[in-house]
């Protein structure tokens, strides 16, 4: 397949020679790359052209392995830093991965013999004699990166982190200059996550400031057939598609395989009067509190996820009010709650007249039970329930080899996935008595 580019004025066969007063990278790119001895790939040219174009503030690149995505992102960061008094932030999923960009920046600075006034390995901050600063940060410590304005923010390996709030809440306000920009670059990690959402913005007229690029191993002429065959032998099919084909439809380690083509419905077309309606509730504070509403059709033996609620760092009162709205809307019969949340259960009953039932919590049995329903296309999701769709797609096994037993990775998807598991597993295996 050819490289996929969302905007017609971005090309991948050459680097655009834009006028210096309009382009983002004020210094010529081609001579810089020549001095590095770099012959850019088509995907790298497209990324440079997208970030250079004054029409686009946000560039999202879904690229496979061996495309030099981290390298080209750091080159772009370096080019911006050569303009005096520029501020660049390079975000990684964690502190350890941020070291890669820090080392790359050091290498580039040494190559061009640039003068550095500060090189702080602990905080991963480089200050240059021209007044520019290059700062490395991690999504899990985003607060340390706010409080300043940036000319460019780069999210490297963006799909590996829950970075939507980090960007929207913490970092987007720091792009407060008329020409400030952000790059999101990664191999995909399934659909219905923040990286895939940002990627598809590049194809929407609604988000005219966004541009997107997708490239696979086929767009890298330097990769040999033997390299590809070796990768196919050493990986599962899902992992190969994810890592080498930049495929959003697969996710290595994904727990449930939800069929988006067959199992998404429009709730306005569904009559729930004859259904049993029940709900699952996973309680959190810093982690979100998740609530999902499900209807079961006894005639067809199908489940319909009708509605949802997800919010973090809210009071019990706020959660109770939102759940009460859903109880009234759907006439919910049973609510299955995390049995570890007994204080919340008591508060709901005493103060808000919300009755709950302790959920069946056998983790692996519950996951298997939901899998049997999902894999047989017996669970249908209302199209507006984005958090539930995300949970189904992003719920993933923890790949840590030191685990004594298999368990899911704790991530943003876990909470709605737990609520879904409590509801479906408890409905079929529990009595409805207290």
Instruction: Please tell me what DSSP assigns to residue 282.
Output: E
Q: Tokens 């009010």 — which residue?
A: 321
Annotate 338-371 with b (16+ C-beta within 10 A) or e (fewer): beebeebbebbeeebebebbbbbbeeeebbebbe
What are the residue numbers of the active site?
157
SS3 label, residue 315: coil
For 266-351, where are the E strands, in sequence order?
Answer: 276-282, 289-297, 302-311, 334-337
Q: Which residues contact 77 (CB under 8 A, 6 or more apart)?
A: 88, 90, 101, 105, 134, 152, 154
Rg (CA), the chain: 24
C-alpha 157/C-alpha 183 separation (Å) is 11
Residue 429 tokens read as 């295996």
10 Å Cβ neighbour count for 201?
19
C-alpha 1/C-alpha 9 separation (Å) is 20
Number of H helices and E strands in the chain, helices first, is 13, 16
User: In the sheet that 334-337 helps form, which strands lie side by side, from edge to edge?
Assistant: 264-265, 379-382, 302-311, 289-297, 276-282, 334-337, 357-358
Q: What are phi and psi of 414, to 5 degrees?
A: -60, -35
CB contact at 8 A, 232 and 17: no
């Amino acid at each position: 397949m050819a490289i996929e580019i969302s905007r017609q004025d971005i090309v991948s066969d050459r680097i655009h020679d834009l006028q210096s007063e309009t382009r983002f990278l004020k210094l010529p790119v081609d001579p810089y790359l020549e001095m590095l001895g770099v012959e850019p790939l088509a995907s790298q040219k497209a990324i440079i052209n997208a970030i250079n174009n004054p029409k686009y503030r946000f560039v999202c690149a879904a690229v496979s392995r061996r495309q030099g995505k981290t390298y080209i992102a750091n080159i772009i960061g370096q080019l911006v830093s050569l303009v005096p008094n520029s501020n660049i932030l390079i975000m990684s999923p964690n502190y350890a991965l941020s070291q890669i960009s820090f080392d790359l920046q050091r290498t580039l600075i040494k190559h061009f013999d640039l003068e550095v006034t500060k090189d702080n390995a602990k905080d991963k901050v480089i200050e240059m004699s021209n007044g520019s600063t290059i700062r490395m940060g991690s999504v899990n410590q985003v607060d340390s990166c706010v409080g300043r304005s940036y000319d460019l923010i780069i999210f490297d390996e963006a799909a590996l982190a829950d970075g939507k709030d980090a960007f929207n809440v913490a970092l987007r306000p720091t792009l407060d200059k008329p020409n400030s920009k952000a790059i999101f670059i990664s191999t995909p990690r399934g659909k219905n996550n923040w990286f895939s959402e940002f990627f598809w913005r590049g194809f929407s007229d609604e988000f005219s400031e966004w541009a997107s690029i997708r490239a696979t191993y086929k767009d890298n002429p330097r990769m040999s057939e033997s390299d590809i065959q070796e990768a196919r032998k050493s990986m599962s099919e899902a992992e190969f598609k994810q890592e080498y084909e930049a495929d959003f439809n697969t996710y290595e380690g994904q727990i449930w395989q939800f069929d988006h083509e067959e199992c998404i419905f429009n709730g306005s077309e569904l009559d729930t009067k004859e259904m049993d309606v029940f709900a699952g509730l996973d309680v959190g504070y810093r982690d979100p509190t998740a609530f999902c509403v499900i209807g079961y059709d006894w005639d067809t033996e199908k489940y319909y996820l009708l509605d949802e609620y997800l919010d973090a760092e809210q009071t019990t009162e706020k959660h109770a009010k939102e759940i009460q709205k859903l109880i009234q809307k759907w006439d919910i019969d049973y609510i299955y709650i995390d049995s570890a949340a007994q204080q919340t259960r008591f508060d709901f009953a005493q103060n808000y007249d919300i009755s709950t039932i302790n959920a069946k919590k056998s983790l692996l049995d519950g996951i298997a039970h939901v899998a049997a329903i999902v894999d047989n296309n017996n669970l249908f999701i209302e199209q507006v329930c984005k958090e539930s769709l995300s949970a189904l797609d992003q719920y993933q096994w923890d790949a840590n080899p030191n685990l004594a037993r298999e368990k899911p990775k704790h991530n943003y998807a876990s909470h709605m996935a737990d609520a879904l598991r409590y509801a479906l597993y408890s409905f079929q295996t529990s009595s409805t008595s207290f």
